[in-house]
Amino acid sequence: MTEDRKTIALPSGKRGEVRKGKGRDLMRAHRASAGNPEPMSVSFALIAELARVDGSLLVYEDVLEMDLNDVLTLEAEIMGVGESRANFQNTAAPREEPTGLSEPRQSPDSSPSDSPSQN
């Protein structure tokens, strides 16, 4: 079984590898950070699940000790804000904005006489 992996250069000069995530990876990240009130704990645990640095697997504590720029680079790649957007591709059709509406529509239930300011 082969995994989709992308190799990226980290700002520190190290080599990062990120694999495409699955739902089970998110579940493991939530379990690994259970009870931790820090909002970023799930993101850091997910980095540990999906990334390798210089060929080595990571644990949550490794991510805590990494250079900030490396952490942010890995997070961006995993969360899909990198160039590839591999984990979170937007496949939905673009939403079209309605045309020809010059004024906001008024609810049929409201009328100027019902307004409390006109009493």
Read off the pLDDT of each residue in 65-76 and give the average, rounded to a whole number.
96
pLDDT at 88 over 50: no
Mean predicted confidence (pLDDT) in 47-61: 96
pLDDT single digits (tens) 18-42: 999 999 999 999 999 988 889 899 9
Q: Which of 59, 46, 53 is nearest to 8 (CA)?
A: 53
Entry pTM: 0.66
CB count within 10 Å of CB 108 equals: 6
| Structure tokens that stand for 2 in this block | 């082969």
Q: What is the mean pLDDT of the chain?
A: 81
Per-residue CA distances from 57 to 1, 49, 98 (Å): 18, 8, 49
